[in-house]
Amino acid sequence: MPFVNYSTKEINCTVGYFGPAVAARLRSQQLMHAGLRPVDRSKILSIGNSSGQVQQFDFLAYEIGTLRGMPFRAHLYCSDYEGINVVEHSRLNRIDGIIFVASTDPARMAENLSSLHALSSLLAELRSRPTDRPLFALQYHDEGGEALSTEAMNQQLNSTGHPTFNSADHHEGGVKEAVKDLLQRIRRQAMG
């Protein structure tokens, strides 16, 4: 449920990008950032790791209108490392929506399934079924590469019928639609 910050008089919701590293979660966030007017968004904030292992956690905030007379802000989070760890566990406790980014490359399906299973297991551990929170499959594909159809992706990854969106590397197309759809659903839920 979105958080009401009475000191700043704004309503905040949290959306997380999840999926295998090969599915370009960070690229999706960058495309979303590029498609927003500078006045409506923050810079992408990156938190790195100095241990030599490349781990980065990116955050993008932007205003999407008002709700109950207060600014309604979305916070998009993304990490570029493999697996779900303590940071992901913490995020899932407070998350309002999930965009699962999957690669449509047939050779990457095992990684998609493994990542989705890890996410589902973590949600179950938190006493929540994946259907209890918005889970959206955003199918990603590299332009020019071999890609599975949306139907084939849904057969493997989307047995519960969540909305799906197709995206490509060099334009914001499906990326923006997935975020917009998810935020509209979160907003409707917040309005009761």
Coil, helix or strand at residue 15: strand
- Report the share of the chain in percent with pLDDT over 70: 62
The CATH number covering residue 12 comes to 3.40.50.300
Return d(Cα 88, Cα 161) in angstroms, integer: 24
**155 or 178, higher pLDDT:** 155
Looking at residue 191, its amino acid is M
Return d(Cα 33, Cα 176) in angstroms, integer: 9
Domain that holds residue 31: 3-191
Element containing residue 166 per DSSP (H, E): strand 164-168
Cβ atoms of 108 and 23 closer than 8 Å: yes
Nearest one of 154, 178, 157 to 168, comparing CA atoms: 178
pLDDT bracket for residue 156 (50, 70, 90): very high
- pTM for this model (two decimals): 0.80
> What pLDDT digit, counting tens, does each position of 5-48 carry?
899 998 888 888 888 876 666 666 676 667 777 776 667 666 66
Structurally, the chain folds into a number of domains equal to 1
